[in-house]
Amino acid sequence: MPGFLNGYTMLFVDRTAPETYGELVSWDDDAAAFENMTNGVGMHPGHGLQVLEIQQRIWAFLVKCCRILLQDVISTVESEVLPNPGPPAIQDENAMLLEIVSLEAPYRLPAHLEFDRLKAMASAERNSREDHLWSMREDPGYFGETMQELSEHRQEMLLDTRGKPHPTLKEAGRPLFWNRVLGTAFVPAYFGLAIFDEVVKQVEKVASIYAACKENLNGEEGLPTDLFDAFQNLRFLLDAAKTDLVLNLKVGLFASPPIRQFCVRKPQEPNTSKIRSTFEPPRNDHAVNRLMPLFNILFNDEQLFLFGLHTITDEIGRLIRTDPAVATLISPYIAERISSLSVVSECLHQLHIFQPWAQKIDDGMDLKNDELSRQYNQTFKGWANIMGINNFEGSQVYKYADPTDGKFDYPAHRRRNKQNVDIMRKAEANLDAFWEAVDRHYKSRSGGSQHDKVAYLLSKDRAVQRTPPWEEPDKTKNFASVAPVEYVYQPFSSVYHDATKQITCVFDRTTLDERAVKPKTRGNAPQPAEPTAPATATQDIQPQPIFTVDKRAHKVFKSLFHSPYNTNLPGEFPWSNFLHAMVLIGFSAEKVHGSAWNFTPNTIDPGVERSIQFHEPHPSNKLPMLLARRYGRRLARNFAWSGDMFRLA
């Protein structure tokens, strides 16, 4: 036979006996032998020989270790072999870093596809996007900061090669600039939710099909058609999400305030909105020169294919975490998008380790690209019209959105008094007026709004919080016994809700719908003080769970759910305290690259089944009171938690 045994495939999969492990199969004798070599089931004999040589040394080393550790145990030749107890718990699984998981991977048992982990990561990202959408429509302060952040990461903010600002920044009121900002604000918010909701659904579909047929799978045979197709559809969807996120990063990175000083824009050409910018690295040993080569690979399809998305996101995350100078170059906006990209990267990596079939799934993607594209377009066919009119240029909507005049100032974290309440109510009215204008913009041009496309994805028992008018406290009553009402609830948007069915009174959301009260999945909202209208239904409501926590966690929850009517306003606290508090009540916390932490309930103790994602403050490691209040409102929204549910041990 030839020296390199061309015409043969070496097989290892499902071969555990010495007689069959590393078996050579001739292409002439087995029609599937060549395909097995190309799709990862087997390998070329030259590579297989290298594997055997490496394994020989590894196993010899492991046997020596076992003999040293187990000197008092009788040889396995003479004693009964006990069943495999499974992998040891190497670290505290309640809080871990994606970077650490990647570093430990070569030293752990061979990785395998974990559907629970895949679903948890996708669900956390999906839920985070839903929360973002609610906050954009509900919280004027959050909306104003988001608009300001979007504007600061547009390439119009770059000076051109002659040191001059972009023409749109010279216009009075900047109408064209703010309308263009609006054009980039809604597709990521709305379509991003639709994308990741579909990712979660397809993960569940793949997991369901796999569970039904996993006992009959054979490594040397192909996957069942329905499972194979489901994997390819999920892979295509994740690739599409990756493309959108990378493009979003590419546009925002160069204009981000920390990186802007190293970039210039070419003078704007007339009659075009295209902007051309270049990166000009400093000559000295600046931290940006350690960071940008990684982004250059990320933005180059050919280079990214060679290095792999998972490798690049891991390295970017490691560099940000270990190099303080690099960390200062990452704005919170960019950090959040790196987090989203790392979620997609980890999901794709999970599919890649579905061996030995992953290679065959990948190889078939190009052949089915047209079919997969048609299925993708069919899934999101309703979005074509929305994206086609996602242009506000020439409209007056910008007047409602410009946050620079203070119209969205929202002192929700400050003590309630008449002045602050009036400011909050005015900001809420300004935000409601903006969304009415936006919804009508879409409806008038396509017959449906961008919100209609995701309305079915939103939690049915949620409503927009609005601040009630200020009422002077009655000094003759015990203030502690009758708590003022912090918020009233109203429908999400008057544009698509029937006005005759709107509920504008103060109400207990858990009495609106049976779905609002579920065992284990949600807590119960606190009873409102003196509701102005009767509840729509009466039913037995489960008592609120009570969490007994230590002093460190209790201080965190007091800050998250602090009542602004309390005169003792808490201050900021370390992010590590927030992690401690969430882990203490039954969540596992996983840091993905960027700034996001995914919190997944790992027991029934927290009484919830839904994952939630929070972003670590950047660059500071302390959670300010304003952000703490927002996080508290999100926890109340998702789990119906309140401050009186947490008691000091």
The pair of three-digit structure tokens given for residue 472, joined into one six-digit string = 């002077």
- 3-state SS, residue 406: coil
User: Alpha carbon of 497 to those of 132, 355, 537: distances in Å?
Assistant: 21, 49, 21
Query: How many residues in the chain?
Result: 649
- 3-state SS, residue 177: helix
- 3-state SS, residue 366: helix
**DSSP string for residues in 534-586:** --S-----PPPP-EEE-HHHHHHHHHHT--TTSSS----EEHHHHHHHHHHTT
Closest CA to 288 of 336, 256, 240: 256
Side-chain-side CA neighbours of residue 430 (13 Å): 23
- Identity of the amino acid at 506: V
Residue 553 lies in a domain: yes
**Count of structural domains, the chain:** 2
Residue 632 lies in a domain: yes
Strand 488-490 versus strand 464-466 pairing type: antiparallel
Distance CA(50)–CA(57), nearest Å, equals 11
pLDDT of 359-375, one tens digit each? 888 888 888 899 999 99
**What pLDDT score was predicted for residue 471?**
85
Q: Which residues of 243-392 form beta strands (DSSP E)?
A: 263-265, 277-279
**What pLDDT score was predicted for residue 104?**
64
Of 53, 69, 85, the last residue of a domain is 69
- Identity of the amino acid at 608: V
**What pLDDT score was predicted for residue 507?**
32
Buried b (16+ CB within 10 A) or exposed e, 227-241: bbbbbbbbbbbbebb
Of 30, 49, 69, the last residue of a domain is 69
Question: Degrees (nearest 5) of the Cα angle 439, 442, 446?
Answer: 140
**What pLDDT score was predicted for residue 586?**
85
Residues 354 and 113: beta-carbon distance below 8 Å: yes
Residue 371 lies in a domain: no
Residue 410 lies in a domain: no
Chunked in runs of 10, what are the mean pLDDT values of the chain (649 residues)? 74 85 90 82 88 92 88 66 61 54 60 80 90 91 94 94 92 92 86 93 94 83 89 95 94 94 90 88 90 96 94 93 92 94 92 84 86 92 79 88 93 86 94 91 77 72 80 66 56 42 35 36 39 41 76 90 70 89 87 83 66 84 87 86 85
Q: Which residues are registered as beta bridge partners of 8?
A: 26
Residues 341 and 242: beta-carbon distance below 8 Å: yes
Residue 350 lies in a domain: no
Residue 648 lies in a domain: yes
Closest CA to 610 of 597, 601, 622: 601
Residue 62 lies in a domain: yes
For 282-308, where are the alpha helices, taking DSSP H only?
288-298, 301-307
Interhelix angle for 140-152 vs 332-352, to 10°?
Answer: 90
Of 16, 41, 69, the last residue of a domain is 69
Residue 543 lies in a domain: yes
Residue 534 belongs to what domain range? 509-649
Closest CA to 112 of 352, 464, 363, 414: 352
Residues 371 and 621: beta-carbon distance below 8 Å: no
**What pLDDT score was predicted for residue 381?**
86
Closest CA to 178 of 389, 386, 397, 388: 397
The count of other CB atoms within 10 Å of the CB of residue 409 is 15
**What pLDDT score was predicted for residue 537?**
39
Distance CA(473)–CA(50), nearest Å, equals 80
